[in-house]
Structure 1
């Protein structure tokens, strides 16, 4: 059966009830859930106003908003103001590797690809101009341990901008593997090939981005935040695969004692499941966790209604003021937000979206009539249809 979907007659600009977060951080909005938002604001206030490294564990059910939070707070416009403050705070979002071959290498390549060798070279150049080459070289050597790795990073500065032809061996060094001849040409002795190597080089890269000044004054540095999503995927890996990764993350944290924040998203929520998190990360990393953020299932219906109300308000054109819950009646929304499976934003979005689609199908919204989705209409929709998965 064909039917017209016209968001204008429903008093909206578009569908507010998306199931996954947008890809553009500028398009991410935060509705309701003020306490949860406040926890992240506090974490970022600390990140901007102080030097020590943070390790933040984020736990919650599927659809509770962990990925959305990483997207929302990767936009500068959503960062809290502090004084004093680091010069800049950056959030890099990365997925947990899904291939079981060499997750540490896949992770390393993903991060380096997102940052870009050109940008790393420019960051090193800026540091050299600010504090001098000797300080940069000394601090990089201390962080990455290997003289080869420190020298390779400095060569990015010397080769910046990276030209497609002249610096092929250098690109191969960081993104692939150099031959013996190429290593000799670069003046280096070894490739980046062990798990420990990957994370030490990443530590050096992140330090270049935060600033290599030996001062602990926050106003002379940036903060770099690495936000890893879906880390529960490691339960499908074998111990020889996930243990080196956890050890690598610990190496990263230990090599960067200042101006670095590591966020880790886990869809493991029950108290006993913390043991699985500890198994994946190892006690050596869980012992370094400085803050835990729980994405609790929302049991308070008033908070669920506030979430829907703020979401609808954002998607409602200013020239079309309606009742707070339009195109729903309040009692219809109370019915929709009752007996949810998990009490997550995704559960709410799924039900409201399915009810809206049924309303369009049935021709509830007719131009000029201000028709609404009523309690009676919701009661006529089966529970199975309201909770059906989308896509």
Structure 2
């Protein structure tokens, strides 16, 4: 029987596979953590300074989900309302290959739609927009003293350069003919990962937030940063240096979130061993994803089920339907101190089993009969 008929739900709210449709990425419960992210993003929208924030918690505590939720266009629009223009959001995973700086740079460039950016930054007569290309090029000329990097940055916004050619250049895959074409725009050599990548991204970020005309800030969200602990020392140092240079060269309108997962290799006390002092000194805040308490889980389940409910306020239907409050408390007690992912895993399995047997509502008897499948790993 379909979830709609059996449980009055659109689908399984506790599935572990990430939703593809942005509308299905919702936030339930944990209002304090949510408010901290909202506060940080609102500050980035209104205040020009750049900042670095650590998101800390065990595996499965919700850090990646937070990135996906706060990267939604609708969420950013809501946060920007009455505060300014929306941020430009970029989400990447910490590169773990043999060339971390190349991978870092490409991961960011892959996320930027250059054609769309050029269209947005096309001068318009409206006083709220750029009136001429010269406004932006003059601004670029005020940033730093590297003429070559400035020319590349100007090329990023220049419609006269074919966008596919320019992308090939950024990826380091141009040929001799391509390079001759680019020299006409003052781009006379290839980019050097060790000296150019961070500087170029910093200028591009500064341009994207120019006068906060189109984007109020850049949000760069880096997932799985704890994997810096498994990089070689050389690559770990390069990653730290790249991040430091990016922050130093983008003094305004850059908000960097680092997701760090507590592991056997990486605990909060080990921060200084893997993150350089230069980067650590730039940390403005830490948002902790604690192991959820029972009251928090009850609130989370009620809000999540409400979001998936097809018919709202059905007479006689409790807010935990197809479960009940006592059953959720029992499962939480049986699980003990576990991450939110483990809790979702248990409820997700239980509702799947109930769907197979057309069982509704789901009571403690059904849970006890299927306990080995639901939380057998705890036994």
- Category of TM-score, reference length = shorter chain: 0.7 to 0.9
Runs of 4+ in 1 over 6 A off after TM superposition: 269-272
Residue 171 of structure 2, aligned match among 152, 172, 175? 175
Give how far 1:182 is off: 4.3
In the alignment, what sits opposite 1:18? 15
Q: Given that residues 41 and 79 in structure 2 are in contact (C-alpha distance below 8 angstroms), is that contact kept between their aligned partners in structure 1?
A: no
Give secondary structure in 2 for the equivalent of 1:91.
strand
Cα offsets for 1:171-217 (capped at 9, x unmatched): 32212244566444422332112233211111122112111x4xxxx
TM-score (norm 1): 0.84
1:313 aligns to 2:306 (yes or no): yes
Give secondary structure in 2 for the equivalent of 1:148.
helix
The 2-side partners of 1:126 and 1:344 are apart by 50
Would the alpha carbon gap of residues 97 and 255 (structure 1) be closer, same or farther in structure 2, given more than 3 Å must change?
A: same
Moved more, 175-184 or 201-210: 175-184
The 2-side partners of 1:315 and 1:83 are apart by 26
Give secondary structure in 2 for the equivalent of 1:8.
helix
Would the alpha carbon gap of residues 82 and 157 (structure 1) be closer, same or farther in structure 2, given more than 3 Å must change?
A: closer
Q: Given that residues 196 and 248 in structure 1 are in contact (C-alpha distance below 8 angstroms), is that contact kept between their aligned partners in structure 2?
A: no
Would the alpha carbon gap of residues 26 and 199 (structure 1) be closer, same or farther in structure 2, given more than 3 Å must change?
A: farther
CA RMSD of aligned residues (A): 3.0
Q: Given that residues 114 and 163 in structure 2 are in contact (C-alpha distance below 8 angstroms), is that contact kept between their aligned partners in structure 1?
A: no
Would the alpha carbon gap of residues 113 and 232 (structure 1) be closer, same or farther in structure 2, given more than 3 Å must change?
A: same
Would the alpha carbon gap of residues 270 and 59 (structure 1) be closer, same or farther in structure 2, given more than 3 Å must change?
A: farther
In the alignment, what sits opposite 1:238? 232
Would the alpha carbon gap of residues 295 and 117 (structure 1) be closer, same or farther in structure 2, given more than 3 Å must change?
A: same
The 1-side partners of 2:251 and 2:216 are apart by 14
In the alignment, what sits opposite 2:130? 130
In the alignment, what sits opposite 1:36? 33
The 1-side partners of 2:362 and 2:82 are apart by 50
Give how far 1:376 is off: 2.1
Q: Given that residues 12 and 315 in structure 1 are in contact (C-alpha distance below 8 angstroms), is that contact kept between their aligned partners in structure 2?
A: yes
1:147 aligns to 2:140 (yes or no): no
Aligned residues: 369
1:375 aligns to 2:358 (yes or no): no
The 2-side partners of 1:320 and 1:175 are apart by 54
Give how far 1:345 is off: 2.3
1:358 aligns to 2:364 (yes or no): no
Gaps of 5+ in 1: 366-371
The 1-side partners of 2:372 and 2:141 are apart by 61
In the alignment, what sits opposite 1:209? 208
Gaps of 5+ in 2: none
The 1-side partners of 2:244 and 2:123 are apart by 28
Give how far 1:112 is off: 0.9
Would the alpha carbon gap of residues 160 and 19 (structure 1) be closer, same or farther in structure 2, given more than 3 Å must change?
A: farther
Cα offsets for 1:232-255 (capped at 9, x unmatched): 122221011121111111111111
Give how far 1:37 is off: 0.7
TM-score (norm 2): 0.86
